[in-house]
């Protein structure tokens, strides 16, 4: 037999409590209501569009709270009616308690069952309506933080994350970087092609930026108009510059489908790192200055600000920036000297934080002297090796052509064992390549030398240890991975050996 249990009492109490809180909320001044609704927002001035979104959200919250208040008032009435019914039933039981009226007792009990059933139904309906209101409120809050055109987070989220990363820098010393991105000549593009084409452009650019930075942990937002911004938590300037290169490169190759044609678009980018003594406003200002310097230099490029001035981030020369359709990652380095400078920068981070840093050098083994291989064949071989290296490396790793038939790869956070494993995968993958020449099909092998950063290392010293391993590998016949441990000893990594093959 259903009864008015403790569970029912608790549910009723919850509804009364919600009604009381809703009433109190509605009686607060408007300014106070806004602070309650936006208690998770940072005290940053909002632009006009987000102010409208805030107002819409506040109106929605007030509407939901009023609905909940009405629901709670209704439940209060229902419970009062139930209490009165139970009281009448109790009086009836008292009246017939001294009379052997079986039918009367049955009727009273039936009334009690029906009263409890009615209240239980009302509680279930109220619970369902409360859940519906909660989901509606959650949906509107997400909408208030999302750009309707691109589906990306909006300026409100940017302001929150900017402040959050600043607080982390101050308390936890976590690094952070910011990239500001502006579509080049967008107003002219919009005027010439029309607003629908402009909207298609914004959606495509936003999607490319998101796809590029999402694997790197970046937070991309629609900053406003034709501007986007990317925040990188726990990221040094070196990695942010690499990300800016990738964004610039991918958008430069982007063809925006529109009606029966495709539209080309480029962007300018400004990069800045958050310094320990900076404010959020300073950080944003330096990224903006770098962005406008990129525009001043001709657009379709990235610049970064080091607190003293702006510097262009090189795209790399044609030979070192070959990319594939499937693994479209631009190379950060353009030659040996630039590679050494990047190694030195990584070593500075290693000495501060003691995070592992691995490097391996890849040398293409000598080809069969009896086979004629022309300059174009050599170029095809180098490009094939380059592509295979990019396939086996992570997004954060950096590969560069050091000299003819030789490449270097830098692996942040990877120790000697992990680096040797990656080098072995590269060696095995490259050994499967085949190149057609007038003399037949050529298969090649490579020799890899692996080294891990140690205290006191310079870039030249670290690269020198890896190159010494390459020389040792060449002396024992090539097609091997040789690694140097922290004591300077060299050993051959586990591998499946194979001989160079030239097939007719």
Q: Give the separation between CA 315 and CA 323, rounded to whole angstroms.
A: 13
What pLDDT score does 91 carry? 66
Element (H, E) at 291: helix 280-296
**SS3 category, 310:** strand
Q: pLDDT of 388-402, one tens digit each?
A: 898 888 767 888 888
List the domain boundaries for the chain.
Answer: 6-144, 155-313, 336-503
Two domains, one topology: 155-313 and 336-503 = yes
**SS3 category, 166:** helix
| CATH class of the domain whose range is 155-313 | alpha beta
In the numeric block, which tokens belong to residue 478?
């090539």
Q: Give the separation between CA 155 and CA 288, rounded to whole angstroms.
A: 15
For the chain, the average pLDDT equals 76
| CATH assignment, 336-503 | 3.30.70.270
Report how far Cα 399 is from the mean position of its chain's Cα atoms.
23
- Helix, strand, coil tally for the chain in percent (to 5): 55, 20, 30
Q: pLDDT of 436-490, one tens digit each?
A: 877 778 888 999 999 999 888 888 889 999 999 999 999 999 999 999 866 656 6
Report CA Rg, the chain.
Answer: 34
Report yes or no: 268 and 294 within 8 Å, Cβ to Cβ. Answer: yes
In the numeric block, which tokens belong to residue 292?
């406008």
Q: Where are the beta strands (DSSP E) in 134-225?
A: 176-183, 219-224
Residues 344-361, mean pLDDT to the nearest whole number: 83
Residue with tokens 């249990």: 5
In the numeric block, which tokens belong to residue 272?
């800045």
Nearest Cα neighbor of 393 from 444, 332, 350 is 332
Q: pLDDT of 143-200, one tens digit each?
A: 678 898 999 999 999 999 999 998 888 888 888 999 999 999 998 888 888 889 999 9
pLDDT band at residue 371 using 50, 70 and 90 as cut-offs: low
Q: Give the separation between CA 231 and CA 226, rounded to whole angstroms.
A: 17
Q: Give the separation between CA 291 and CA 295, rounded to whole angstroms.
A: 7
pLDDT band at residue 41 using 50, 70 and 90 as cut-offs: very low
Q: How many helices (H) and strands (E) does the chain have?
A: 13, 17
Q: Give the separation between CA 189 and CA 194, rounded to whole angstroms.
A: 8
Nearest Cα neighbor of 427 from 447, 398, 405 is 447
Eight-class DSSP state of 327: S
Report yes or no: 160 and 213 within 8 Å, Cβ to Cβ. Answer: no
What pLDDT score does 158 carry? 93
pLDDT band at residue 140 using 50, 70 and 90 as cut-offs: low
Q: pLDDT of 375-384, one tens digit each?
A: 788 888 888 8
């Amino acid at each position: 037999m259903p009864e008015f249990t403790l569970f029912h009492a608790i549910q009723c109490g919850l509804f009364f409590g919600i009604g009381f809180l809703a009433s109190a909320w509605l009686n607060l001044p408007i300014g106070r209501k806004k602070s309650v609704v936006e208690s998770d927002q940072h005290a940053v001035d909002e632009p006009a569009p987000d102010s409208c979104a805030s107002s819409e959200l506040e109106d929605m919250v007030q509407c939901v709270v009023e609905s909940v208040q009405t629901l709670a008032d209704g439940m209060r009435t229902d419970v009062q009616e139930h209490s009165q019914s139970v009281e009448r039933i109790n009086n009836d039981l008292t009246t017939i308690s001294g009379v052997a009226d079986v039918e009367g007792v049955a009727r009273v009990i039936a009334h009690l069952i029906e009263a409890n059933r009615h209240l239980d139904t009302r509680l279930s309906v109220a619970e369902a309506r409360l859940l519906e209101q909660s989901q509606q409120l959650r949906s509107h809050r997400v909408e208030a933080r999302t750009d309707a055109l691109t589906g990306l987070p909006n300026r409100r989220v940017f302001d929150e994350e900017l402040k959050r990363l600043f607080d982390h820098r101050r308390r936890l010393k976590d690094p952070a970087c910011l990239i500001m991105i502006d579509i080049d000549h967008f107003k002219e593009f919009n005027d010439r092609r029309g607003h629908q084409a402009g909207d298609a452009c914004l959606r495509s650019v936003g999607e490319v930026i998101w796809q590029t930075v999402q694997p790197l942990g970046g937070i991309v937002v629609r900053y406003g108009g034709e501007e986007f911004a990317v925040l990188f938590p726990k990221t040094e300037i070196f990695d942010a510059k690499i990300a800016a290169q990738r964004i610039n490169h991918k958008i430069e190759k982007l063809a925006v489908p529109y009606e029966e044609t495709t539209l080309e678009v480029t962007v300018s980018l400004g990069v800045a790192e958050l310094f320990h003594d900076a404010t959020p406003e300073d950080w944003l200002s330096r990224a903006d200055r770098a962005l406008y310097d990129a525009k001043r230099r001709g657009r379709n490029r990235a610049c970064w600000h080091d607190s003293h001035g702006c510097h262009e981030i090189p795209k790399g020369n044609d030979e070192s920036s070959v990319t594939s359709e499937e693994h479209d990652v631009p190379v950060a380095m353009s030659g040996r000297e630039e590679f050494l400078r990047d190694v030195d920068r990584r070593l500075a981070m290693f000495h501060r934080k003691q995070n592992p840093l691995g490097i391996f050098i890849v040398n293409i083994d000598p080809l069969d002297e009896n086979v004629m291989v022309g300059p174009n064949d050599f170029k095809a071989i180098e490009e094939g090796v380059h592509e295979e290296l990019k396939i086996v490396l992570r997004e954060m790793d950096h590969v560069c052509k050091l000299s003819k038939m030789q490449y270097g790869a830098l692996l942040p956070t990877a120790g000697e064992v992990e680096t040797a494993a990656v080098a072995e995968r590269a060696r095995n993958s490259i050994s499967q390549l085949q190149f057609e020449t007038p003399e037949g099909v050529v298969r090649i092998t490579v020799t890899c030398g692996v080294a891990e950063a140690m205290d006191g290392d310079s870039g030249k010293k670290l690269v020198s240890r890896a190159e010494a391993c390459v020389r040792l590998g060449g002396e024992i016949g090539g097609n091997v991975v040789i690694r140097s441990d922290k004591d300077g000893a060299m050993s051959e990594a586990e591998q499946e050996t194979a001989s160079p093959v030239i097939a007719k």
